Amino acid sequence: MLVPNEQNERMITYEVEAEDDQQPLKETLKNRLDLSSRLLTKLKKSKRILINGQYAKYHELLSEGDWIKIDMTEEASQFEPQEIPFNVVYEDIDVIVINKEPGIVSHPTKSHPKDTIANAAQNYLEKKGVACRIRFVNRLDMDTSGLLVIAKNPYTHHIMSQQMKANEITKKYVAFVKGVVVANEGEIDGAIYRSSDETIKRVVDDRGQQSLTKFTVLERYADATMLEVSLLTGRTHQIRVHMESIGHPMLGDHLYGYVDTELIRRQALHASYLSFLQPRYKEKIEVRASLPKDLNELRNKLKDELLR
């Protein structure tokens, strides 16, 4: 079983169980710890797997009660550390979950070489004396606010990526859309397709990837609706594309939606809830993020319009 080691986020410790007795080390690493072939190759080259404190080769047989230690030490990211809002809402030995502000990108790009969440994370980790690469488990558009997960080591990133592919991570959003949604709840099943490399815009088209979105009405206004939206697949722009496809585009969405700068200046979308299994101990973790200031202001404006 995986053993807690709260003093070092880079060390994975596993006590060999009866089922692993006389099994090759490599098989146990793959079957019990779910290590990827890529990570196994990397660890083999750097000789960072030990059995009972001694360097071990993958063909070596295990005995019940042996201790496997995997050193995940690696070169830290080299982003420029910057003092940028970095609101940590959950953290443990393996992950950091932040409540991202709108208007900031996650990772440096050609158009945004700095002033990103990665720069803020670098600053945060350096102040804590933690040296690790910054790996994002999920992604949020620049103008989407809410919960963003950062893995502290390659093991965590791999396990959570597997959870994502298996739909074991629950993601819920709050969205404000144009028009009054009549049904209290619904499901949108529409393949999402990118028609050209020259555009970032997606459409619902049978040639695309299968995509499934569920929604529940939270509040109705005079000509808008507040929804809770759950993603059962994780396609680029999925909520924005799907809501436009049913005639209820996102308020403030300049690419797909309905723009009224008197209401809000960015897409009214917030990642409000996440649940996942802690990669090392398999405990269920639930994290929530309250609405940011601009969406609370939008909500109040819509309520005022309803009362007029």
Pairing of strands 67-71, 88-91: unpaired
User: What type of residue sits at position 292?
Assistant: P
Q: Are 51 and 66 in contact (CB under 8 A)?
A: yes
Say what the alpha-carbon torsion angle 243, 248, 250, 252 is, to the nearest 10 degrees.
Answer: 160
Pairing of strands 67-71, 11-15: antiparallel
Q: Which helix (H) or strand (E) holds 98?
A: strand 95-100
- Sheet of 54-55: strand order equals 2-3, 11-15, 67-71, 49-51, 54-55
Q: Which helix (H) or strand (E) holds 237?
A: none
Using CB atoms within 10 Å of the CB of residue 11, give its burial: 0 to 12 exposed, 13 to 18 middle, 19+ buried. middle
Instruction: Compute the distance between CA of residue 169 and CA of residue 137 in angstroms, rounded to an integer.
Output: 11
Does the annotation count 141 as an active-site position?
A: yes
How far does Cα 24 stand from its chain's mean position? Answer: 34
Contacts with 297 (C-beta within 8 Å, 6 or more apart), sequence order: 264
Catalytic residue selected from 94, 141, 143, 253: 141
Residues that are catalytic: 141
